[in-house]
Chain A
Amino acid sequence: MSATNQPPLLDVRGLTTEFVTRTGAVAAVRNVSLSVRRGEKVAIVGESGCGKSTLALSILGLVDRPGRIAAGEVRLHGRNLVGLSEREMKKIRGNVVSLIFQDPMGALDPIQTVGAQLIDTLRRHQPSLSHKAARARAVELLREVEVPAAERRLDDYPHHYSGGMRQRVMIAIALANSPALIIADEPTTALDVTTQAQVLALLERVVANHGVAVLLITHNLGVVAEFCDGVQVMYAGRIVERGPTEAVLAKPTHPYTQALLESIPDPSRRGDRLRAIPGMPPDLSAMPTGCAFEPRCFHGHGREICRTRQPIPIAIETAGGPSLVECHFAAERAARAGEITAS
């Protein structure tokens, strides 16, 4: 977070991804802008179905028909990736930008050995590497992600690995070609709680060792608090609030962020009822004309402006840096939040 004047590693501008269905185009990602600096760890949080995964796939150009990127740019080191051919993209994927996928059980080809997939990743981007050297490197990588008996386990098939071990393999594959950025889509969601903590600690460690930037996609705010420098809250395809992690989590300005935070158990508020967010996320094919969160919002509910006008991002100054919030009442709410903490 220190080098603010450095150009961002990843700069997404106005990205819109839509899926063409029989009844028309449905946008799953709407006009999303975000940037990740070298070595920065940025989180995207939101409920399932809010478009986080589609955003991750869009950045890598992995959205297939009937989906497509309808507008926007994805700049990596200043170069726009949108519209590049598969041949150009394959040099970037797994090399400059790696992907860790949410479902460790299905993320590895079940009929190829783990080693074959790891070695393939290495040699694809380092053609000069001999098979022997690639194998040695693969063992090294497995050791780094703490897979026991790495040498032997290289020739095992994915079904011999437990979920946590598979996710370690995924991390090894992502690290293989020393990428500048790893996009991790719900990397610990499918694991049990103890394994989650281990895998997350491992990810944190290797990322720190290699100085890799991470775009972490999750619905787990606890993970965000522990791991990330910045956070982007996504709702119904849009980023509704973004800012430094501490500021956003301590003083959520957008009603959705606040509701999200109140819906997780917190030991300090023991005895309080957990507040679930009423209602359901809007149907993406029939979006409200105004603010997408309005029907579920406790703050703006029923107000004319919320129903009729899409809010524009409003800048809020926080202790950790500037924050952007897409809410008509952002300034008012921020001021009030300040009062509450002050008093």
Chain B
Amino acid sequence: MLRLISGRVATSLISLFGASLIAFVLLRLTPGDPARLFLGQFAGEDAVQALRAELGLDGSMFSQYLIYMQRFLSGDWGFSYSTGQSVAELLLARFPATVELGLFAFLFAFVAAVSCALISVYRRGPVSDGGARALSFFAQGVPPFWFGLMMLLVFFEGFGWLPGPEGRLGLRVIPPPTVTGLMTVDALLAGDWTAFKDAVRHLILPAVTLGLMPFGFLYRLLRANLEGVTREPFITVARGRGLTRWAAYVRHALPNAFLPTLTAAGLLFGQLLAGSVLVERVFVWPGAGALVTDGVLKQDFSVVQAFILLSAFLYVLTSLVVDILAALLDPRVAQSQGGGR
């Protein structure tokens, strides 16, 4: 087990090293002098040179990479060219909103995928089969930002059931005091029922929009696995022991089908991360993704570049954690490496 984990950690570190090299090369390729961009076109040449020296831009490529990585790892991700604020502060301030949205989107994707997969495999009819397939194709083919807009057109413009693109809370709702940064949790901690309900109502459309693609992905994967597992003899045996078919599916088929999908959860996380960049803007969601889109619009790429390397770190880290988790949860893997017979 330990060998498995350390091997997995090592490969993750290697890919992160490669990823940081790629990010660095791309950063160097970016047109324009970062010092000039930061100081603006009216600053004197001396000031620019001084900043270049300070940023380590006049050294060799190798030393530049070292400085770049050292700065990144110590949380110094540069400054926004347009506002002069620290990128790390900007991103961190926006992070809770993105995390909350991502959690709800994941919750939606997970619950929807598991129930759709279970029901369509359980019923085995051409209608439920076709319907679920069509839904998954739609979920994986629809541009999320466009889908969000259409949802707004229907549920906000059309029926007026759900709030429009106004961020995390309605204008007239007083936000609860910040503890975790997650609006729903903070509202509950403050015992503010009105704010909680409002926060949830504001989360529904963005979360469904962001979760749609992961749903389609997870559903297809889970369904294929379930189809395989339900043919295993142990499902028949479980029913022979006195479980109904449904109980055998839920208690035995689902866990066995779910375990291998865990290793794909990293991909899911990547979809959520990239999706937040596309979706937050539509709902004026004050998260890190919207910050990135704003940066692109204002040609202020320092935020974008920091986000790129950061997302690689988060992506690789998630895959690593999930892989280890999957190995720990699967008794065949967990015990085959050490302590097994």
Contacts and interface: CB of A to CB of B under 8 A. Distances in A.
Query: In the complex, are there CB atoms of A and B closer than 8 Å?
Result: yes
B125 to A, nearest CB: 8
A157 B232 contact: no
Contact of A110 (B237, B242, B332): B332
Majority secondary structure of chain B interface residues (helix, strand, loop or mixed): helix
A283 B283 CA distance: 61
Nearest to B258: A111
A117 B251 CA distance: 11
A65 B252 CA distance: 19
Given A111-B330, A111-B331, A159-B331, A125 B234 contact: no
Interface string A96-129: 0011011100111111110001001100110000
Contact of B239 (A62, A66, A125): A62
B245 interface: yes
A86 B244 contact: yes
Given A64-B245, A90-B244, A160-B340, A106 B234 contact: yes
B340 A109 contact: no
Contacts of A93: 239-242
Interface string A138-177: 0000000000000000000101100000000010010001
Interface string B235-250: 0111111111111000
B237 A95 contact: no
A66 B340 CA distance: 41
Sort chain B's interface into a size bin. Answer: 20 to 34
B86 interface: no
A209 B244 CA distance: 30
Sort chain A's interface into a size bin. Answer: 35 or more
Contacts of B252: 109, 112
A229 B233 CA distance: 28
Count chain B CB atoms within 10 A of each CB in A103, A106, A170 and give the residue with the most: A106
B124 interface: yes
Interface in A48-67: 57, 60, 62, 64-66
Contact of B240 (A66, A101, A159): A101
Nearest to B244: A86
B233 A101 contact: yes
A94 interface: yes
B124 A157 contact: no
A111 B256 contact: yes
B242 A90 contact: yes
Contacts of B341: 160
Interface string A74-104: 0000000000001101110111001101110
A95 B242 contact: yes
Given A93-B241, A111-B331, 18 more contacts: A60-B240, A62-B239, A90-B243, A91-B242, A93-B239, A93-B240, A99-B240, A101-B240, A103-B233, A106-B232, A107-B234, A110-B234, A110-B256, A110-B332, A111-B259, A121-B241, A121-B242, A157-B332
17 contacts: A57-B236, A90-B239, A91-B242, A93-B240, A94-B241, A99-B240, A101-B236, A101-B237, A102-B233, A109-B252, A109-B256, A124-B241, A125-B242, A157-B332, A157-B335, A159-B336, A160-B340
